[in-house]
């Protein structure tokens, strides 16, 4: 829909879920329809407005028919907006950038099949109205001044001395109830009264944005429709689970031949759509506690009577417990199922029968005392639940997941890095399996040194240690334990290679350098480039790694029994240009890094213009000998 002013309203929906069934034609009743305006009914020019139509519907369940929401303005018979959808109890109608044109009387309507219910009118104002003088005072005429609830009167507002288009407004007290335009100086309309009272009717009209004075006031006495439903419960409004309760809805006998409806409602549930000739019967449970409403409708007038039904529990919902907490495999455990409260006037405690189930299968066949004993294992792991039953009432406990804990396995003790005499090194204790947390203890010569509690598999138990002789490595063991009811397990003695004294047997790597051949300014596209890494000081074997700046991964690694090694970059191109460095290390902990060397690959269009270099590298012991062969276009090889 597009209004005359050119804007396009936006519709926002708030969806509620309903149960659907393709095989049930539900009964329903529209209880109320209300219209709300946000942010307010009186706003400034340019405000964004939202009109929300909110409905309450009770139904018997099943697949509901389509809901149709109609929005009206200024009592126009044609809807301003129509929205159809499935079982939605709230619809939004947006008016962006509101102007004076949008001022008016708004209402909304919900239509479900043949039922409809309209909201109370809502006044929306963007400007003040001026009261003029000199216009004819209108006259109001009604055909009846005494009616009953649900009945209507014919009301006519006349101002036949005025010419042109007149917009007539009918009021009940201060509330406007109808507005309609006419070119003939009068408007006749039907006004329906839904509640008993004294109605004070009047009218006025507007012409060229001028408002007339108010007409004469006509009173209409609206008498209450004497139809009063009553709701009763048998045997009582206070019963116990398992009792059969009958609910009766009745109206005065003088209305028995009238056309009216009589429905039984509990909250949003329409329990029975026709209570005129029958009652409602049910074996109740505790969840049936609540307010029940008997609703009678005649001539669009609705009367209600409501009472509360209280259903006492025959027995309470059972509670499932598993003891002890934190059971390990091989240990006994007990599952119990019990209800704490009973209706002692109906049953005794031993009349409640219990069943315990694991993964949906009963583990207590033939036994109903609510207790199950077993030894924990992988076969007893699963989802446990239970039920309690008495007098055809069945109740379930909440589900509990049981998983037996696993005892820790014999620990493994190992070193993380190389062991060097008189230098700190790391000892790692771990177990192949076992439930966390696991307590690890490092011992030396049967004396505890330190403890670490590991909470998960990535929470490593790492200890620091120092030895002065190779034989001391076997003094270390570790202990693992994760249950106070089981003895701790001890590892084998630590075993690892030990490097001797640094002052006699070992020299760490130092003075590492990187040489690029040919020189950094002589690297030509298509030739081979050698990156020679040299350790000036260090005891072999020595490990070398080459890196390119910007890449954390090594280009190559190599371990040799000499103090240098080379990495070849074959047939280089421009993409090989960059900065390079190398690292060297031996059995010591320290790594030594070279300075960074940068070269750029040179490109020549004609190969006969440049020199081609050939390099032969000889790497004995700790010295590097370089032999270079050079060929120029105009001369033979020379060495």
Q: pLDDT band at residue 609, thresholds of 50, 70 and 90?
A: very low
Distance between CA atoms of residues 44 and 523, nearest Å: 78
Q: pLDDT band at residue 454, thresholds of 50, 70 and 90?
A: very high
Q: Is residue 482 over pLDDT 90?
A: yes
Contacting residues for 454 by C-beta, under 8 A, at least 6 apart: 436, 437, 438, 439, 440, 460, 461
pLDDT of residue 244: 94
Distance between CA atoms of residues 21 and 32, nearest Å: 25
pLDDT of residue 328: 94
pLDDT of residue 22: 43
Which of these, 288, 208, 205, 218, lies nearest to 246 by C-alpha position? 288
Give CA separation, 506 vs 170, 499, 540, 565, 583, in Å: 110, 8, 9, 20, 18
Q: Phi/psi class of residue 425: alpha, beta or left (left: φ > 0; alpha: ψ in -120 to 50)?
A: beta
Q: Among residues of the chain, what percentage have pLDDT more than 90? A: 61
Q: Collapse the DSSP code of 380 into the 3-class scheme (helix H, G, I; strand E, B; otherwise coil) and give the result.
A: helix
Q: pLDDT band at residue 605, thresholds of 50, 70 and 90?
A: low
Segment 307-322 mean pLDDT: 96
Q: Is residue 486 over pLDDT 70?
A: yes
Distance between CA atoms of residues 247 and 272, nearest Å: 10
pLDDT of residue 14: 40
Mean pLDDT of the chain, nearest integer: 85
pLDDT of residue 62: 77
| Structure token digits, residue 111 | 């239509």
Q: pLDDT band at residue 437, thresholds of 50, 70 and 90?
A: very high
* Of 42-51, 72-81, 356-365, 620-629, highest mean pLDDT: 356-365
Distance between CA atoms of residues 94 and 12, nearest Å: 8
Segment 12-25 mean pLDDT: 43
- Residue 430, judged by CB atoms within 10 A of its CB (0-12, 13-18, 19+), counts as buried
Whether residue 177 contacts residue 191, with contact meaning beta carbons closer than 8 Å, is answered with yes
Question: pLDDT digits over 83-129, tens only?
Answer: 998 888 899 999 998 866 677 889 999 998 877 767 665 665 443 33
Q: pLDDT band at residue 10, thresholds of 50, 70 and 90?
A: very low
Which of these, 106, 89, 142, lies nearest to 9 by C-alpha position? 106
| Structure token digits, residue 612 | 């081609």
Segment 414-442 mean pLDDT: 92
Q: Is residue 384 over pLDDT 50?
A: yes
pLDDT of residue 85: 86
Kindly report whether the peptide bond that precedes residue 541 is cis, defined as omega within 30 degrees of 0.
yes
pLDDT of residue 74: 84
Whether residue 53 contacts residue 93, with contact meaning beta carbons closer than 8 Å, is answered with yes
Across the strands, what pairs with 115? 112
Identify which has the larger pLDDT, 247 or 607.
Answer: 247
Whether residue 516 contacts residue 566, with contact meaning beta carbons closer than 8 Å, is answered with no
pLDDT of residue 626: 42
Question: pLDDT digits over 348-373, tens only?
Answer: 999 999 999 999 999 998 889 999 99
Whether residue 98 contacts residue 139, with contact meaning beta carbons closer than 8 Å, is answered with no
pLDDT of residue 586: 87
Q: Is residue 18 over pLDDT 50?
A: no
pLDDT of residue 9: 42
pLDDT of residue 319: 97
Q: Among residues of the chain, what percentage have pLDDT more than 70? A: 85
pLDDT of residue 46: 78
Q: Terminal CA-to-CA distance of the chain, rounded, Å?
A: 95
Question: pLDDT digits over 173-187, tens only?
Answer: 999 999 999 999 999
Q: What angle do CA 464, 466, 468 make, to 5 degrees?
A: 170
Identify which has the larger pLDDT, 128 or 446.
Answer: 446
Enter the DSSP assignment of 602: B
Distance between CA atoms of residues 623 and 534, nearest Å: 9
Q: Is residue 388 over pLDDT 60?
A: yes
Neighbours of 367 (CB within 10 A): 14
For residue 380, which phi and psi values (nearest 5 degrees)? -95, -5
């Amino acid at each position: 829909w597009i209004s005359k002013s050119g804007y396009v309203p936006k519709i926002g929906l708030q969806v509620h879920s309903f149960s659907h069934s393709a095989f049930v034609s539900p009964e329903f009743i529209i209880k109320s329809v209300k219209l709300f305006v946000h942010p307010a009914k009186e706003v400034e020019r340019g405000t964004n407005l939202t009109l929300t139509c909110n409905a309450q519907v009770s139904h018997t369940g099943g697949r509901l028919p389509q809901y149709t929401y109609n929005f009206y303005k200024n009592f126009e018979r044609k809807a301003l907006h129509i929205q159809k959808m499935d079982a939605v109890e709230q619809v939004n109608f947006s008016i962006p950038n509101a102007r004076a044109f949008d001022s008016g009387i708004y209402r909304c309507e919900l239509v479900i099949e043949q039922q409809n219910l309209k909201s109370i009118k809502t006044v929306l104002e963007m400007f003040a109205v001026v009261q003029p003088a000199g216009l004819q005072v209108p006259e109001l005429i009604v055909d009846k001044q005494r009616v009953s609830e649900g009945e209507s009167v014919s009301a006519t507002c006349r101002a036949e001395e005025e010419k042109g288009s007149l917009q007539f407004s009918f009021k009940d007290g201060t509330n406007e109830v109808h507005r309609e335009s006419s070119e003939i100086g009068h408007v006749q309309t039907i006004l329906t009264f839904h509640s008993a009272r004294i109605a004070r009717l009047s009218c006025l009209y507007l012409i060229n944005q001028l408002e007339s004075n108010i007409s004469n006031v006509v009173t209409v006495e609206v008498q209450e429709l004497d139809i009063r439903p009553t709701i009763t419960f048998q045997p009582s409004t206070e019963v116990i689970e398992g009792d059969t309760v009958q609910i009766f809805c009745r109206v005065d006998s003088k209305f028995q031949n009238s056309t009216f409806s009589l429905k039984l409602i509990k909250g949003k549930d329409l329990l029975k759509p026709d209570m005129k000739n029958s009652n409602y019967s049910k074996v109740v449970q505790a969840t049936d506690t609540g307010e029940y409403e008997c609703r009678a409708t005649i001539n669009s007038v609705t009367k209600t009577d409501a009472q509360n039904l209280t259903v006492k529990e025959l027995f309470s919902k059972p509670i499932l417990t598993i003891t002890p907490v934190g059971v390990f495999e091989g240990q006994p455990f007990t599952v119990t199922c019990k209800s704490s409260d009973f209706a002692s006037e109906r049953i005794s405690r031993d009349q409640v029968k219990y069943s315990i189930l694991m993964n949906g299968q009963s583990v207590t066949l033939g036994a109903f005392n609510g207790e199950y004993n077993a030894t924990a294992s992988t076969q007893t792991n699963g989802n446990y639940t239970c039920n309690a039953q008495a007098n055809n009432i069945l109740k379930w406990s909440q589900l509990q997941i049981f998983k037996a804990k696993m005892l820790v396995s014999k620990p493994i003790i190992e070193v993380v890095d190389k062991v060097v005499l008189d230098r700190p090194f790391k000892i790692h204790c771990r177990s192949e399996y076992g439930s966390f947390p696991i307590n690890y203890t490092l011992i030396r010569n049967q004396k505890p040194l330190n403890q670490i509690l590991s909470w998960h598999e990535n929470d490593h138990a790492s200890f620091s240690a120092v030895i002065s002789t190779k034989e001391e490595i076997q003094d270390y063991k570790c202990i693992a334990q994760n249950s106070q009811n089981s003895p701790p397990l001890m590892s084998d003695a630590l075993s690892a290679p030990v490097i001797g004294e640094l002052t006699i047997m070992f020299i760490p790597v130092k003075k590492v350098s990187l040489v690029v051949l040919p020189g950094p300014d002589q690297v030509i596209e298509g030739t081979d480039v050698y990156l020679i890494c040299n350790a000036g000081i260090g005891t072999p074997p020595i490990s070398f790694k080459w890196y390119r700046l910007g890449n954390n991964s090594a280009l190559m690694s190599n371990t040799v029994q000499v103090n240098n090694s080379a990495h070849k970059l074959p047939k280089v191109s421009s993409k090989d240009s960059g900065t390079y460095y190398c690292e060297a290390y031996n059995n010591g902990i320290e790594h030594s890094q070279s300075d960074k060397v940068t070269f750029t690959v040179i490109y020549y269009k004609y190969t006969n213009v440049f020199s081609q270099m050939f390099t032969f590298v000889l790497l004995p012991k700790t010295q590097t000998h370089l032999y270079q062969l050079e060929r120029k276009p105009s001369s033979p090889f020379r060495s």
